[in-house]
Amino acid sequence: MSEHLTVVSHPLVLHKLSLMREKTTSTAVFRQLLREISVLLAYEVTRELDMTTKRIETPIQEMDAPVLAGKKLALISILRAGNGLLDGVHDLIPSARVGFVGLYRDEETLQPVQYYFKVPTELDERLVIAVDPMLATGNSSVAAIDLLKEAGATNIRFLCLLAAPEGIARMKEAHPDVPIVTAAVDEKLNEQGYIVPGLGDAGDRMFGTK
Ligand code: URA
């Protein structure tokens, strides 16, 4: 992808996102909407995949048919909210390999700390799509991308649902080579690091926690 930031302002994406933002939307409906939007976002984040051709036979004649080139993609969920985006993307690319990065925020240093890391082999030969619904401060996203690069990934895209200008700037500074695809860019972060107007805590809304 050539652009550092792609905003997928498709009417269906925006409509579903507005439903997700409403505080009265139930956990079940929120999860379902996220799954539906993630399929549409996955369509955009995979737009420029490398292609090759394969000789096939239709019932009428032979042809060189376009197929995806290279190793299977790697989808990396940044826990825990990443799992909500992962499901829809995985529906669209069922043969993708899947990995997980677990990070929590140290309450004293406010820095992300790794507690889990399991990713597919040969990351250096795969397109890696890291997913996390909320790009807020960018701290955990930058840390997750750092870890993926340490594990060998060189071709990474970041897929989120909502981004704050602060998170986009932080990612652009730390990882200018990682394109971001999002459904919307909101106004700002509040003092607690929540996206404004946002949709609240994506993990809590997805899993019914507080
Ligand atoms: N994480 C969330 O889930 N929501 C925000 O608004 C910011 C970070």
The 10s digit of each residue's pLDDT in 11-46 is 999 999 999 999 999 999 999 999 999 999 999 999
* DSSP type of residue 208: T
- Tell me the two tokens of residue 95: 């043969």
3-state helix, strand, coil in the chain (%, to 5): 35, 30, 35
**Is the residue at 88 inside a domain?**
yes
Report the nearest atom of ligand 1 relative to the CA of 204: 3
Please say whether the beta carbons of 14 and 184 come within 8 A: yes
**Is the residue at 109 inside a domain?**
yes
Q: What is the pLDDT of residue 107?
A: 74
Positive or negative: CA dihedral 87, 88, 92, 96: negative
Q: Residue 73 and residue 60: Cα distance in Å, rounded?
A: 32
196 CA → ligand 1 middle, Å: 9
User: 134: Cβ below 6 Å to ligand 1?
Assistant: yes
Q: Residue 91 and residue 85: Cα distance in Å, rounded?
A: 10
Residue 74: CB atoms within 10 A of its CB come to 25
Catalytic sites, residue numbers: 105, 109, 201, 204
Query: Using 50, 70 and 90 to split pLDDT, how confident is the model at 111?
Result: confident
**Is the residue at 42 inside a domain?**
yes
Query: Using 50, 70 and 90 to split pLDDT, how confident is the model at 168?
Result: very high
**Is the residue at 120 inside a domain?**
yes
**Is the residue at 172 inside a domain?**
yes
- Tell me the two tokens of residue 3: 């652009």
Q: What is the CATH number of the domain that holds 193?
A: 3.40.50.2020
Q: Nearest 5 degrees, angle CA 111-CA 169-CA 137?
A: 30
The chain-wide mean pLDDT, for the chain, equals: 95
Answer whether residue 109 shows pLDDT above 80: no
User: 201: Cβ below 6 Å to ligand 1?
Assistant: yes
Answer whether residue 1 shows pLDDT above 90: no
Query: Using 50, 70 and 90 to split pLDDT, how confident is the model at 2?
Result: confident
Q: What is the pLDDT of residue 73?
A: 96
- Tell me the two tokens of residue 136: 């807020």
Residue nearest to atom 3 of ligand 1 (CA): 201
Q: What is the pLDDT of residue 108?
A: 77
| pLDDT cut 70: percent of the chain above it | 100
Q: Residue 183 and residue 168: Cα distance in Å, rounded?
A: 13
Q: Residue 208 — left, alpha, or beta (φ > 0 → left; ψ -120 to 50 → alpha)?
A: left
Q: What is the pLDDT of residue 184?
A: 98
> According to the annotation, is 80 in a ligand binding site?
yes
The 10s digit of each residue's pLDDT in 179-191 is 999 999 999 999 9
Please count the residues of the chain. Answer: 210
**Is the residue at 83 inside a domain?**
yes
How many separate domains does the chain show? 1
Q: Which domain holds residue 103?
A: 5-205
**What DSSP string runs through 64-96?**
EEEEE-SSPPEEEEEETTHHHHHHHHHHHSTT-
Answer whether residue 157 shows pLDDT above 80: yes
> According to the annotation, is 193 in a ligand binding site?
no
Average pLDDT over every residue of 53-77:
96
User: 135: Cβ below 6 Å to ligand 1?
Assistant: no
CA-closest candidate to residue 40, choices 73, 68, 6, 72: 6
**Is the residue at 210 inside a domain?**
no
* DSSP type of residue 104: E
Q: Residue 161 and residue 136: Cα distance in Å, rounded?
A: 11
